Amino acid sequence: MDSRIISVSIKGDSMWPTYNDGDVLDCIEYDNQDIKVGNIVVFPHPFKTNIVCVKRAKKIVDNMIFVEGDNPDPLASEDSHNFGLIQIDTIIALNIN
C-alpha cells in the first residue's frame, strides 16, 4: 500500500533558513517507514492541543527522537530542548528530501 501525501505548511521561523514561514512541504504519511537522522518529521506538539510541529530528527534513541528546528537562534524554535524526546509512534508524516 502506498503512503498518502500530506501537505504541511511551515508556520514561524523555527525551520529557517531551510524553510520559510508559509512554505508548504509535501510529506508522506508515516506508516512505520525507517526514520533517519536528518529527516524532517511532522508530529503533534506534546503539550499544546491542535498544534502540529515540523522539525528535523537530530538523534534517535530506541523508540524516541530528539527533534530540533533548523534556526540557529535557540529562542526561535520550540523543540526537544523544551519538551524532550518524542515517541516515534506520534509521528504523523515525514519529508525525506
What does the domain layout of the chain look like in residue ranges? 5-95
Please tell me the pTM assigned to this model.
0.92
Closest to 7 in 3D by CA, of 16, 20, 22, 87: 22
First vs last Cα of the chain: how many Å apart? 21
The answer to whether the CB of 11 falls within 8 A of the CB of 21 is: yes
- For residues 60-88, give the mean pLDDT: 94
Rg, Å, the chain Cα set: 12
62 is written with which cell numbers? 530506541
Domain boundaries 5-95, CATH class: mainly beta
20-66 pLDDT per residue, tens: 999 999 999 999 999 999 999 999 999 998 999 999 999 999 999 99
The answer to whether the CB of 96 falls within 8 A of the CB of 35 is: no
The answer to whether the CB of 43 falls within 8 A of the CB of 92 is: yes
